[in-house]
Structure 1
Amino acid sequence: MGKRIVKNYPSPRLMETIGATNQTTPEAIGELVANCFDARYQDEKLAITIDVRNGRITVIDNGKGMEFSILEKAVCIAEDMSRYIERGEGAKGHFGMGFKTSCSTLGNYYEIYTRPVDGNVEYYTSFDINDYGTRPAGSDAWDVEIEDFLPSENSPLGAAGHGTAFVISRLKNKNPMVSAILAYMGEAFKAHLDHGDRITIIDESGTNDAEPIKYNFIKGTKVEIDEIFGPEDKYHITGWMALDSQTHNNGFYGFNIYRHNQLVEKYDKTWFRAHLMTSRIIGEVNMDFLDATFYKQGIQQSEDWMFVAAHMKEYLKGIVTASNNVSKKGNINNPSELKKIVNTLRDDYEVDGEVSEEDFGEKKPSTKKGERDEKPSINDTIKNIVTEEALTLEDEGEIIITYLEKESGSSIHAPFDYIFAESDDDDTAELQVLLFKNHPLWKKKVDDDVKKVLATSDAIYRLLVEKLSYDASKALKIRNEWVVKRTEGMK
């Protein structure tokens, strides 16, 4: 009896499978950009270029580049790079898996060009992912060839004195969307962009700089977060939260969570119950105490995350209440109610100063019955219809109806839309009717109340068919009955 030594070499096919991720193209590029920030040279502002022309994706930085001794470790699988380079406590990565995974996610062939500072040399290596799938197992299968030569302007690095370029080809997504990449960079590296670093994207149409994401929140609702808690003050969360000026049915609300100024989770809603009434809650938090790999590998099951979640759920109770109250019928357009809600929020979080009604504009006066002597016009009749704020269904009970006018953005598809929030133990169901003010239909003068009726009748019908699974003929009948019922006696 005795011991035997087993050579523990992973299969070369690992190079294929590490690219089988659920990363989007912008997320995969973002991992390469994160490596660029880790390679910052002294205190220089970082300039990163993402070139998506000619069937390739090239990511170039003006960082400090890699000496041969660093590059040979970086190209190895899961090498702990902190043993070889001084990254500092703000490093975004540790094991060098990020760039390999991301390059393999983006394409089947990638190259690395790097020029170290104070060295008149450029190093080059390449990886053919398909080739790894045919290599026999063993240590030799993982050999990597690195070339060195004098820097040339024909290199992707051009005339730069130092830096690194990743060039990915044989792309899996042959038409990466520049707008999506720009938007992701503006979110993922917001703090870097705010402090003067630059990310530029080039495609056939030209050059665009990534801009930090901007938010549009209700005046007075922004609350700075600086929470220290846990055993021996282990956890420190900084950032801010606020109430968005509108509700969302697209999921674009919650907290963007950052680690060392890199986005690790987008629009997280773990700390409150996701619902139309809470869909105004937005914010950014920094949690630098997270390990580099935790969040991407299931932090929500980790002991640290569960402890943090319990604390933040309690901490957010004030803003959850405020979001519910603002989203109740009519409050967003009622300055006096907004004042009360916002000042209560500020008191809850000990924010200095108060807001006044003037901060939210003037409340529009309502038209009282009996003010007009003449026979009511059709628009007056419609106004009485849309002041009915509930739809009652036999099987669903009462559904509150609210309205929101908004811009539809650069892509205009319909003059109106709707959001539906189902009822639960705490809330009444709500149908929010959206009117897109800049739709071409409204270029001709149309009374505002006419718009509301058109949008509401459409929303009721679509709600019944799309969300509540009513037969189309029954939905049409209910929609028509709703209109008739509210016009009875108004002619």
Structure 2
Amino acid sequence: MSLEFIKKERISIVPDVSLFAKLGNANYTVSEAISELIDNSIDAREDTVNINIKILKNKVIVEDNGKGMNKEEAINSVILGKSSKKTGDLGYFGMGLKTACMSLGKKFIVQTKKKGSTEKYCINFDIEEWEKNNKWDQQINILKQYNVNDSGTKIYITKLKFNQHKNLIESLLIHLSERFGVFISNKEVKIKVNNKEVKPLEVKLVDNSKQNFVITLNNGKKITGWTGILEKGSQEKSGFNLYKYNRLIRAHEKLGYHYHPSKMWITGEIHLDPLPVTHNKREFINNDPLFADFFNKFKNILKKVIEESQNKNKEEKIKDLPQQVKETFKNNLLEALNNFDEIKEFSFPSNQQSKKDDDGEEFNKERRETTNNPTKNNENNNINKNKDRTPKKFSQNKDKFITINSEKYKFEFEWTNLDDDKKSKESFLDPSTKTIMIFLNKKYKLLDILNVDLLYMIFYIAEGIIEVFLRESGQTNDKLVYLRDGVIKKLAEVYSEDITLKIKEKDENEIEAYNHLMSTKNKEEMLLTKNEKLCLSMRLEKGMTLQEIGNHLKITRERVRQIINKSLLKIEGKKYIKSQELKELKTEEKNIIKDITNIYGTSTEKIYNLKTQELEIETKRIIEDTANAYGISVENIMGKSREKKYVLPRHIAIYRIKKELDISFSEIGKMFKRDHTTMISAFKKIDTLLDEQYKKCNEEH
């Protein structure tokens, strides 16, 4: 069945006037919107263009000294989708200025002047008036008699739609430095935000890791860039910055790979000038054939930089143990080996059984005297000089040797690059230096997924030593896993014994602290704060856990631990200063106190009382001054009335006391019979009012 047209009509598809308001819902951040306006300023550059941005309380100003616009260009700037930009310009979609302005505020004014002209053009756009008029036309104002050499564009945005948080300027500076860093580095643009200059971010790379590349697409166009390895890995800062015409489109893009900690060192820049972007310049159109062509040729470059990042990750993971931890580990492992009976059969050949008994006794006998064995005494370290300490089952003077075939050997371990990435380590015995060497492989494949910690080292070092035992005694590796696990189990017992001893020492310290705390005399003399006494009391008298104390006092478990440790240090005398002991004070303080004592003929305690009295007098003066200034009484300021005429003077008095006398909020709260948080709130309100007044004065001048 065919359709027969009886009439044809032309219809209007002019957009509804509400479209302009809807443009403001493009979900731009403040930084992204201002970046769109900067794009236009950069397009208008003839030499270095200066761009000044002002973020004020009620308006945003973006001003440049570029070449400006003539009448036609000014009109086109407010027409949706209309652009007179050429290829290579950043703002070639004809949407940025309108979208950016409407996302920042409901009203904007564009003032522009072309170099060589005496006319300035001004377009005033108010979305509320626009929708009220319901017409697709706009008035342009022409101002005459301007200097022919002046040029540039200035945009005012008012009726702002965003909240100005305290970190707005700082975050904007960072965003602009990243987005326009190439232009700034090339001295094509200078940008200031509230008189603070935007500087390009410096990317710190591993030496010689930067590799430039050029990719030629099938259509003959070129894509350039570089890859590198970050000196300091970061999930947030790793990835590639993707540019079009030197303008950042995507920051830290994980292009062609999924993020993994082993890839947090990857960085680079890729200038994708031939590839198309979306109209809001937020991303490239990755289903475009040109993008597919580029990515297929980029894969080999990506593969190499991922491998370099993984190697860097291994190096960072493979940090040698701190010296003290390393020595403790070596001593404990040797003790575990010497106390594991099934290892001893490899220590001595069968024809030297008698020596085995002697050395076995020497091996495991608890040492009380080391002077009888000077050789061993030289090899021992970490001697515990604390005479009151309860001795361990085995002496702290651990033997730094292992016996194989009646010969004594030390052992050492280090990280190195082995050729085979399937090998975790190599171990061998060096008779010339009497040392068992274990080389842990940096290239071991499992390091991509394993964390290198002490447990990892224990596992493979113990295994390496057992391999040497078996090899030197002509045994196969059938018992390797069994013996390795047995040594590790023994090692765990040694570490457990150390921990038990430390806990015992800690308990003894706490018992001493408890006795000290309970002493009436000590209670009077001890310089513990209220919180320190409370935490110690809960811990020692009531037996509460750190978490329970934290929950009760509404502080973290870690903070409780810090308070208790500090208290114990004071009790031990390491930070314990009695108020009467002038000899413990700094020399300068001691001399000052002596001088004052001579003048006033009074004691140190009375001097502190004088200081307190002085603060009380000054506090009273500030409150009276404030009351007189506002024509109210001191009682009104100190009272609880919430009337506005009393609240503001009260807040001002609190602000002045804090600023002029530097008294804690808790102490001020006691004066006003209020909580310290109320004092903080009052202080902040006045601080904010003064800050706003300061900004207002700057705007007027």
Q: Is the structural similarity TM-score above 0.5?
A: yes
Is 1:239 matched up with 2:205?
no
8 A Cα contact 2:78 2:97, kept in partner: no
For 2:155, the aligned partner's letter is F
Is 1:180 matched up with 2:171?
yes
Question: In structure 2, do the counterparts of structure 1 residues 178 and 116 end up closer, same or farther at CA, with 3 Å as the change threshold?
Answer: same
Aligned residue for 2:412? none
The alpha carbon displacement at 1:291 in A equals 2.9
Aligned residue for 1:197? 188
Hey, what's the Cα distance between the residues in 2 that align with 1:376 and 1:55? Answer: 70
User: After superposition, what is the alpha-carbon deviation per residue over 1:124-172, rounded to whole angstroms, capped at 9, x for unaligned?
Assistant: 0111123334443xxxx1101000113679xxxxx98100011111112
SS at match of 2:241: strand
For 2:72, the aligned partner's letter is S
Aligned residue for 2:478? none
Hey, what's the Cα distance between the residues in 1 that align with 2:145 and 2:156? Answer: 17
Is 1:326 matched up with 2:312?
yes
SS at match of 1:299: coil
Structure whose alpha-carbon radius of gyration is higher: 2
For 1:215, the aligned partner's letter is V
The alpha carbon displacement at 1:301 in A equals 3.0
The alpha carbon displacement at 1:303 in A equals 2.8
Is 1:374 matched up with 2:382?
yes
8 A Cα contact 1:65 1:163, kept in partner: yes
Hey, what's the Cα distance between the residues in 2 that align with 1:426 and 1:134? Answer: 67
Aligned residue for 1:478? none
Question: In structure 2, do the counterparts of structure 1 residues 238 and 109 end up closer, same or farther at CA, with 3 Å as the change threshold?
Answer: same
Question: In structure 2, do the counterparts of structure 1 residues 244 and 333 end up closer, same or farther at CA, with 3 Å as the change threshold?
Answer: farther
Hey, what's the Cα distance between the residues in 2 that align with 1:364 and 1:194? Answer: 47
Aligned residue for 1:101? 99
Aligned residue for 1:61? 64
Aligned residue for 1:144? 138
Aligned residue for 2:369? none
Uncovered stretches (5+) of structure 1, i.e. residues with no partner = 154-158, 335-362, 382-424, 433-483
SS at match of 2:36: helix
Question: In structure 2, do the counterparts of structure 1 residues 315 and 201 end up closer, same or farther at CA, with 3 Å as the change threshold?
Answer: same
Hey, what's the Cα distance between the residues in 2 that align with 1:292 and 1:147? Answer: 35
User: After superposition, what is the alpha-carbon deviation per residue over 1:351-388, rounded to whole angstroms, capped at 9, x for unaligned?
Assistant: xxxxxxxxxxxx9996483564234799xx9xxxxxxx
Is 1:220 matched up with 2:208?
yes
Q: Any residues of structure 2 matched to 1:297-316 within 5 Å, and which? A: 299-316=285-302
For 1:221, the aligned partner's letter is S
Q: Any residues of structure 2 matched to 1:244-283 within 5 Å, and which? A: 244-249=230-235, 251-283=236-268
RMSD: 3.4
The alpha carbon displacement at 1:253 in A equals 1.2
Question: In structure 2, do the counterparts of structure 1 residues 485 and 6 end up closer, same or farther at CA, with 3 Å as the change threshold?
Answer: farther
8 A Cα contact 1:16 1:132, kept in partner: no
Hey, what's the Cα distance between the residues in 1 that align with 2:284 and 2:382? Answer: 67
Q: 1:74 aligns with which of 73, 77, 93?
A: 77
Larger relative contact order, structure 1 or 2 (CA cutoff 8 Å, min sep 6): 1
8 A Cα contact 2:277 2:285, kept in partner: no
Hey, what's the Cα distance between the residues in 2 that align with 1:485 and 1:135? Answer: 86
SS at match of 2:128: helix
The alpha carbon displacement at 1:20 in A equals 0.8
User: After superposition, what is the alpha-carbon deviation per residue over 1:391-414, rounded to whole angstroms, capped at 9, x for unaligned?
Assistant: xxxxxxxxxxxxxxxxxxxxxxxx
Hey, what's the Cα distance between the residues in 1 that align with 2:286 and 2:447? Answer: 26
Q: Structure 2 length normalisation: TM-score?
A: 0.46
For 1:428, the aligned partner's letter is I
Hey, what's the Cα distance between the residues in 1 that align with 2:193 and 2:256? Answer: 38
Question: In structure 2, do the counterparts of structure 1 residues 316 and 4 end up closer, same or farther at CA, with 3 Å as the change threshold?
Answer: same
8 A Cα contact 1:198 1:210, kept in partner: no
Is 1:124 matched up with 2:118?
no
Question: In structure 2, do the counterparts of structure 1 residues 326 and 10 end up closer, same or farther at CA, with 3 Å as the change threshold?
Answer: same
The alpha carbon displacement at 1:201 in A equals 2.9
For 2:330, the aligned partner's letter is K
8 A Cα contact 2:61 2:156, kept in partner: yes
Is 1:22 matched up with 2:9?
no
Is 1:208 matched up with 2:196?
yes
Q: Percent identity?
A: 24
8 A Cα contact 1:254 1:269, kept in partner: yes
For 1:186, the aligned partner's letter is S
Q: Structure 1 length normalisation: TM-score?
A: 0.64
Hey, what's the Cα distance between the residues in 2 that align with 1:64 and 1:58? Answer: 18
8 A Cα contact 2:77 2:97, kept in partner: no
Aligned residue for 1:384? none
For 2:39, the aligned partner's letter is A
8 A Cα contact 2:80 2:94, kept in partner: yes
The alpha carbon displacement at 1:70 in A equals 1.5
Hey, what's the Cα distance between the residues in 2 that align with 1:226 and 1:364? Answer: 50
User: After superposition, what is the alpha-carbon deviation per residue over 1:441-491, rounded to whole angstroms, capped at 9, x for unaligned?
Assistant: xxxxxxxxxxxxxxxxxxxxxxxxxxxxxxxxxxxxxxxxxxx98831445
Is 1:34 matched up with 2:39?
yes
Hey, what's the Cα distance between the residues in 2 that align with 1:319 and 1:241? Answer: 7
The alpha carbon displacement at 1:174 in A equals 3.3
The number of equivalent residue pairs is 348
Uncovered stretches (5+) of structure 2, i.e. residues with no partner = 1-5, 332-378, 387-395, 397-445, 454-491, 502-701
Question: In structure 2, do the counterparts of structure 1 residues 377 and 261 end up closer, same or farther at CA, with 3 Å as the change threshold?
Answer: farther
Question: In structure 2, do the counterparts of structure 1 residues 321 and 164 end up closer, same or farther at CA, with 3 Å as the change threshold?
Answer: same
Report the structure, 1 or 2, having the larger helix content.
2
The alpha carbon displacement at 1:196 in A equals 1.7
